[in-house]
Amino acid sequence: MFDVIIVRYGELALKSTGVRNWYEKILMSNIEAMLKQNGVSYSGISREWGRVFVHTSDIRAAQAAADVFGVVSASPAQTTDPTLESAAKMCASMADGFVHEGESFAIRAKRTGNHDFSSRELAIKCGDDVWEMLESRGMSPSVDLTNPSREVFVEMRQNHAYVFTEIVQGVGGLPIGTQGKMISLVSGGIDSPVATWLLMKRGVEIIPVYCNNEPFNDERARQRTMECIKQLQKWCPGHPFKVYEVPNGSNLGAFIDKCERGKTCVLCKRTMYRIAFEIMKTENASGIVTGSSLGQVASQTAANMYAETYGICAPLYHPLIGLDKNEIIDIAKRIGTFDISIVQAGGCTAVPEHPEVKAKFDSLPLEEEKVDIESMVRYSVANARISKV
């Protein structure tokens, strides 16, 4: 029993009028793309101050809208006239069959615009009509404003009133496409897809870069990564990924042959940053996203992370830096990448038996002098395979 989805946003409301208007338009476009991806039928999308409205009676629309970055909640609602009588009548109709014998109820009323009644008067009138309806059904009504069994919401605006009983929690954040582009170093593990999703949630358009370590990884690792990227794409259907698959196996081979063996992993990570930086400049992006979580693996100690980035003038973002593994796993399950990431794909055979965990901050440039690092990076970038998801 609804004809519209009320979509609420959060941080957008804090922006200046011009920025807010721009963000709202992007949000509406992203909602439209998500609805189309999910096959949801709708007749239009409109907006008023503080709200976006999807005009539909498709039950899937509320969840689809809630999955759009920037949306804090969505509610299937029934539209009625902006009067006390119409709103109260609609509340009673909504409560019929929703509130059962022995259950308490509460009316949650909000009012914006110019009306000759207050929010309190609106709540009382709607509550009275619900009470009378329940009594007419032979029930014994009970009101509990603190911890009710059922809640009926009414939102009175200038031109319409909206009555609803459900609030679907959204993902929050900012509309994707409002914060520029970034390069994300994505692998098929648990961490990097979560890090990528978190930056997408902050409004960033992502350019995924996968460093293919074959022959030190096999095809399973590549397939798992591509499946993770496809899953992430479902969260931003209006912004198709441009994926770079970069050969990195020959670089690893050079490090194994010519550099200190224990430093293979930190040299690999540093090379990935160099590659990502070159792509970042080509794509006019603004940063590089990693899945690093402090202390989680050998290459992610504080000392190693300093050494890996020493002398590289690129803005690096580590959204997982303070999260533990369980927190990261919880997000991975929520966004749909966890089951993909735990598929067995073999390990990297280039990992040394005793990897460096306390690299000196200036030690890696000295190791790079043993190889032609600039030519290696140029080769990797020049031979990248680019595809759209």
The pLDDT tens digits of the residues spanning 279-302 come to: 999 999 999 999 999 988 877 899
* Residue 87 pLDDT: 98
* Residue 295 pLDDT: 86
Non-local (6+) Cβ contacts of 279 within 8 A are: 183, 207, 209, 244, 246, 285, 381, 384
* Residue 297 pLDDT: 81
The rounded mean pLDDT for the chain is: 96
Cα dihedral value 330, 217, 383, 312, nearest 10: 60
CATH class given for the domain over 181-388:
alpha beta
Q: Per-residue pLDDT for 89 more than 80?
A: yes
Cα dihedral value 312, 318, 321, 327, nearest 10: -160
Mean pLDDT, to the nearest integer, of 337-350? 93
The pLDDT tens digits of the residues spanning 46-56 come to: 999 889 999 99
Q: How far apart are CA 331 and CA 336, in angstroms?
A: 9
Q: Where in the chain is the domain with CATH 3.30.2130.30?
A: 4-169
* Residue 298 pLDDT: 77
* Residue 372 pLDDT: 96
* Residue 367 pLDDT: 95
Helices 373-382 and 249-258 cross at an angle (nearest 10°) of: 160
Q: Per-residue pLDDT for 346 more than 90?
A: no
Contact 61/27 with Cβ under 8 angstroms? no
Domain 4-169 has CATH 3.30.43.10: no
The pLDDT tens digits of the residues spanning 139-168 come to: 999 999 999 999 999 999 999 999 999 999
The pLDDT tens digits of the residues spanning 324-342 come to: 999 999 999 999 999 999 9
The pTM score is 0.93
Q: Residue 214 — very low, low, confident or very high, per pLDDT cuts 50/70/90?
A: very high
Q: Where in the chain is the domain with CATH 3.40.50.620?
A: 181-388
* Residue 300 pLDDT: 87
Mean pLDDT, to the nearest integer, of 184-193? 96
State residue 31 phi and psi, 5-degree precision: -65, -45
Q: How far apart are CA 217 and CA 252, in angstroms?
A: 11
* Residue 197 pLDDT: 98
* Residue 279 pLDDT: 98
Mean pLDDT, to the nearest integer, of 7-27? 93
Q: How far apart are CA 18 and CA 363, in angstroms?
A: 49
Percentage of the chain exceeding pLDDT 90: 93
